[in-house]
Amino acid sequence: MSEIETNETERQARYNPAEIEPKWQARWDADPKLYTAEGHDSGKPKFYCLEMLPYPSGQLHMGHVRNYSIGDALARFMWMRGHNVLHPMGWDAFGLPAENAALKNNTPPRDWTLQNIAAMKKQMRRMGLSYDWSTEVATCLPDYYRWNQWFFLKMYETGLAYRKKSKVNWCPDCQTVLANEQVVNGRCWRHEDTIVEQRDLTQWFLRITKYADELLDGLEKLEGWPEKVRTMQRNWIGRSEGALVNFAVEGGSSKEATADPSTSLRSAQDDTAGGTGQSAQGDACSVITVFTTRVDTIYGATSVQLAPDHAVAKAFAAEDADLAAKIEALREEQKKARESDDFGAIEKHGVNTGRFAINPFNGERVPIWVGNYILADYGTGAIMSVPAHDERDFEFAQKYGLPVRRVIAAEEGEQPDLPFTAEENAVLINSREWDGLSCTEAQQKMAAFAKQNGFGEPTVTYRLKDWGVSRQRYWGTPIPMVYCENGHAGVEPGGVVALPASALPVLLPESIEITQEGGSPLGKVPEFLHTTCPVCGGPARRETDTMDTFVDSSWYFYRYTDAKDDTTPFSSEKANYWFPIDQYIGGVEHAILHLIYSRFWTKVMRDLGMINNDEPAERLFTQGMVIKDGAKMSKSKGNVVSPDDMIARYGADATRMYALFAAPPDRDLEWQEEGVAGISRFLGRVYRLANKYAETTRLGRIPSLVSRTQTDQALLRTLHQTIAKITLDFSGRWHFNTSIAAIMSLVNEIVAAEAAIDAGQASPAAVAEIVRNLVLLLAPFAPFFAAELWEQIGEEGVVFRTPWPVADEELARENEIEIPVQVNGKLVNVIKVPADADQDEIKAAALADEKVKARVEGRNVVKVIVVPGKLVNLVVK
RNA sequence: GCCCGGAUGGUGAAAUCGGCAGACACAGCGGACUUAAAAUCCGCAGACCUUAACCGGUCGUGGGGGUUCAAGUCCCCCUCCGGGCACCA
């Protein structure tokens, strides 16, 4: 062979992703039906594979690459297993960055967003992701957001959407309201340095608390979700059973309290559907309702504690300037502490109002205090303080010298030190007729007693609050409500009127100047603002707030099933075929926000009769973060690795495969470029092998494996073991790192057998079988690569529509296995025995081994442990 | 403070049911090919001790204890790292 020919051959056999990937990308793009799901009559089992849709920032990052590589491998695998796969993608396209970009570059948010979508879509195609673009959803387009409006009207009709004035979290940077879920340690979730302020605004709310119990109970059934996510949601919902008890205020109040709705006696219950009726609405100051989970300790209550914002505290303050100043100081302390990271560390302060309340159980007068550690927005904003049985109350009582009275005792044994907070094996004492009851029993009976006598009731309190969805932003879904200037019969002027569905969509005005000034930008667009009332035809103003973008992502995956529908959000028939999502994949950072709203929205749609499923997703997978130099990739740390760079250097296949190989998908992944290079080298080896045996593979398709050579047998055994292993990995554990390692081992073995193959010691049919299956095994991980080799070895059809290989147990079986032999637990030798050898045979073989004999000689074999297929351990003395 | 993860060679990791710890890679070292280098291929490779070398030995999965013939894996205690919740009454 001449030198020129050698070079020529080498060049041909060289793996060049820069050439083959664009080639296949172009071919796939030319076939728009390639990844299109079939209908419900396909006769195949359905599989809905979903990755969380990205915000169109304009750039894919490594977190996306990882997320989508996992989803894509799974989707392709399921296709090869004969499923009807829905694998869609879309854009969470409303949101603040588009407005910020508009300010900065003077680009309209819409243009900026659509450009970014185009750029990211191109990157996704370059990655070779198997999305069905015919179902693409962009939430910022009217054909999507009109259905947000439609849902809003439905919720308004059914009482799930309502308006109330309330204290809201206001981010001065975003110039808008944030949901509780978007406030992290008193700061904005998007602006770590910005302290969230409290403002009073009238806002639209969605009554998610109506579903609090179902959202909580449903978690039990979500076995395909990570326990971690379920726990986070449980904590977030924060269900707490207890009782409300009314303490009469001694002497009542001379003035009517100017009760703020958010701090009324039942503020927490305002959020639940309707509430359950409660007295004391008339004179807010004649009664203090406390919430307690330990009504059984009420005989030990030695004070009542109010939040500084409590209506009664305000009423007292109104009569006493000195007290007002002290309460104001407490309020300030509380506010500061809430804004800092550690509200929990606040030093407890309080002030005695000098007034008294009456414990309805024993008629005792207890002083009313205001405490800086009492939260206005949890429970009723008032507690009964039982120092003997609550750590916080104990601390407070010690500080201010309040009495401590033990009313709970351990059932048996010595009485523990105070505060004694246990409920298990504890009984009531010093509680008159309740003495001797267990805590749990007393809690129920005493709450029921309170209800019978009209001074309380059992109740349930949640940490979860109704979802405030109003945002004073431009780039979001307009809320489809108007305020009629004339008013209507029975409705005050400025009455709230819902638009009819026929008026939808309420379009976002196209030309708008974005400024940084506060208030809703839509309020400055006269042609948007001024409209007519759908009821009376008179002048009306539109609602100028837009919806929280979490509305968009709460139901987008239903739209995928019927993305072009212009008469309904989606067809129930289609949704019921595809739902629930079989596998949802995304980052754990959405464990509470997105994933709890999605569950809520699903239940609402079910109750509207649109779908049958109770939960959106059967299984959820949360992948780990991508780390570089030990830290999360971020611009500020300067450790960002660009997917484009990686793809340019090593190709999409190597980049994707590395993302799967470097760590199990649920763990954090340290990005090391050398690792990507390693994968690229591995693919190069496979490429060379497949090329070398391409001819043999083409010709060797005859099923002539009757007489197998030793080489055939050894290679086929490893092949079928590998098939079995990878198939198993896909079925649940998803440790693709070990799947890929197994393929590497197979390749190493083929390379080691090359000399034998070339010497004619392998049959062409076996070589063909191995090369062909090797390509199939790689198809979910490296689709461009597999498609190219599939063609080169002369196969017809689309590689990732070819049936996934089935492991042949016969071929995979070892006929001889290695058994380690230990003496007193230490490895002495490894012996070979037939795979089907029984205990006695293995034992005999072990005892006959020379090394073992030498070790045992002169000592007593006390015991022989034989674990067939595993090991032998001789216990020797 | 409470609840979940995690800690294994120089690095990423593997060991799926209590059974050979370190598969598979990366980086490294040695060799082949080359005028040379790159690429590629072959080989070595947990630490320590012993030896001229082979051979051989000891230790070793964050630390300490325990169960077991056998522990990275199970039990108890502790340390550190990451995440979530947190005066939620």
On whether both A372 and A512 belong to a single domain, the answer is no
> Does A181 or A125 have the greater pLDDT score?
A125
CATH number of the domain at A769, please. 1.10.730.10
Strands A240-249 and A350-358, sheet pairing: antiparallel
On whether both A181 and A325 belong to a single domain, the answer is no
A414 in a domain, yes or no? yes
On whether both A347 and A272 belong to a single domain, the answer is yes
Q: How far is the CA of A92 from the C1' of B89 (A)?
A: 39
Confidence of residue A490 (pLDDT cuts 50, 70, 90): low
Taking the stretch 807-836 of protein chain A, residues with Cβ within 7 Å of any atom in nucleic acid chain B are 818, 820, 822, 824-827, 830
Q: How far is the CA of A18 from the C1' of B32 (A)?
A: 30
Taking the stretch 657-676 of protein chain A, residues with Cβ within 7 Å of any atom in nucleic acid chain B are 661-664, 667-670, 672, 674-675
Q: How far is the CA of A864 from the C1' of B70 (A)?
A: 12
Taking the stretch 230-269 of protein chain A, residues with Cβ within 7 Å of any atom in nucleic acid chain B are 231-232, 235-236, 238, 240, 242
Complex ipTM more than 0.90, yes or no? yes
A874 pLDDT more than 50: yes
A256: left (phi over 0), alpha (psi -120 to 50) or beta: beta
For chain A, the straight-line distance linking the first and the last C-alpha, in angstroms and rounded, comes to 68
On whether both A739 and A835 belong to a single domain, the answer is no
* pLDDT on residue A263: 33
A78 in a domain, yes or no? no
Q: Write b or e for each residue in A133-158: b if 16 or more Cβ atoms lie within 10 A of its Cβ, otherwise e.
A: bebbbbbbbeebbbbbbbbbbbbbee
The residue out of A765, A797, A812 marking a domain boundary is A812
Q: How far is the CA of A868 from the C1' of B17 (A)?
A: 14
Per-residue pLDDT tens digits for A762-806: 988 899 999 999 999 999 999 999 999 999 999 999 999 999 999
What is the mean pLDDT of the segment spanning A563-568? 95
On whether both A486 and A538 belong to a single domain, the answer is yes
A92 in a domain, yes or no? no
* pLDDT on residue A551: 96
Per-residue pLDDT tens digits for A137-162: 999 999 999 999 999 999 999 999 99
On whether both A391 and A494 belong to a single domain, the answer is no
Nucleotide nearest to A684 (CA to C1'): B40
* pLDDT on residue A284: 59
Q: How far is the CA of A792 from the C1' of B55 (A)?
A: 52
A674 in a domain, yes or no? yes
Per-residue pLDDT tens digits for A727-752: 999 988 899 999 999 999 999 999 99
Nucleotide nearest to A751 (CA to C1'): B41
On whether both A443 and A521 belong to a single domain, the answer is no
Confidence of residue A423 (pLDDT cuts 50, 70, 90): confident
Q: What tokens does A211 get?
A: 């579903």
A523 in a domain, yes or no? yes
* pLDDT on residue A583: 95
Nucleotide nearest to A676 (CA to C1'): B26
Residues A736, A749: Cα–Cα separation, whole Å = 20
Per-residue pLDDT tens digits for A106-129: 889 999 999 999 999 999 999 999
Q: What tokens does A356 get?
A: 């008294």
On whether both A750 and A805 belong to a single domain, the answer is yes
For residue A722, the surrounding DSSP H or E stretch is helix A710-728
On whether both A795 and A820 belong to a single domain, the answer is no
Q: How far is the CA of A390 from the C1' of B78 (A)?
A: 29
Taking the stretch 681-710 of protein chain A, residues with Cβ within 7 Å of any atom in nucleic acid chain B are 681-682, 684-685
Chain B nucleotides near the protein (CB, 7 A):
3-5, 11-16, 19-21, 23-27, 39-43, 58, 69-71, 83-89
Instruction: Please give the residue range of the domain that contains residue A777.
Output: 643-812
Per-residue pLDDT tens digits for A292-324: 999 999 999 999 999 998 989 989 998 889 999
On whether both A435 and A489 belong to a single domain, the answer is no
Per-residue pLDDT tens digits for A834-862: 888 888 888 888 888 888 888 887 788 88
Residue A346 DSSP SS3: coil
Nucleotide nearest to A855 (CA to C1'): B56
* pLDDT on residue A227: 86
Look at chain A and report how many structural domains it folds into.
Answer: 5
A586 in a domain, yes or no? no
Q: How far is the CA of A538 from the C1' of B21 (A)?
A: 81
Question: What residues have CB less than 8 Å from A1, skipping those under 6 apart?
Answer: A9
* pLDDT on residue A597: 94
DSSP letters of A758-801? HTT-S-HHHHHHHHHHHHHHHTTT-HHHHHHHHHHTT--S-GGG
Residue nearest to nucleotide B15 (CA to C1'): A738
Contact call for residues A577 and A610 (beta carbons, < 8 A): no
A261 pLDDT more than 60: no
What mean pLDDT is reported for chain A? 87
Confidence of residue A491 (pLDDT cuts 50, 70, 90): low
On whether both A315 and A383 belong to a single domain, the answer is yes
Is the CB atom of residue A875 positioned under 7 angstroms from any atom of strand B?
yes
Confidence of residue A2 (pLDDT cuts 50, 70, 90): very low
* pLDDT on residue A275: 32
On whether both A696 and A764 belong to a single domain, the answer is yes
* pLDDT on residue A853: 83
A467 in a domain, yes or no? no
A772 in a domain, yes or no? yes
Residue A451 DSSP SS3: helix
What is the mean pLDDT of the segment spanning A18-23? 95
A278 pLDDT more than 60: no
Is the CB atom of residue A478 positioned under 7 angstroms from any atom of strand B?
no
A652 pLDDT more than 90: yes
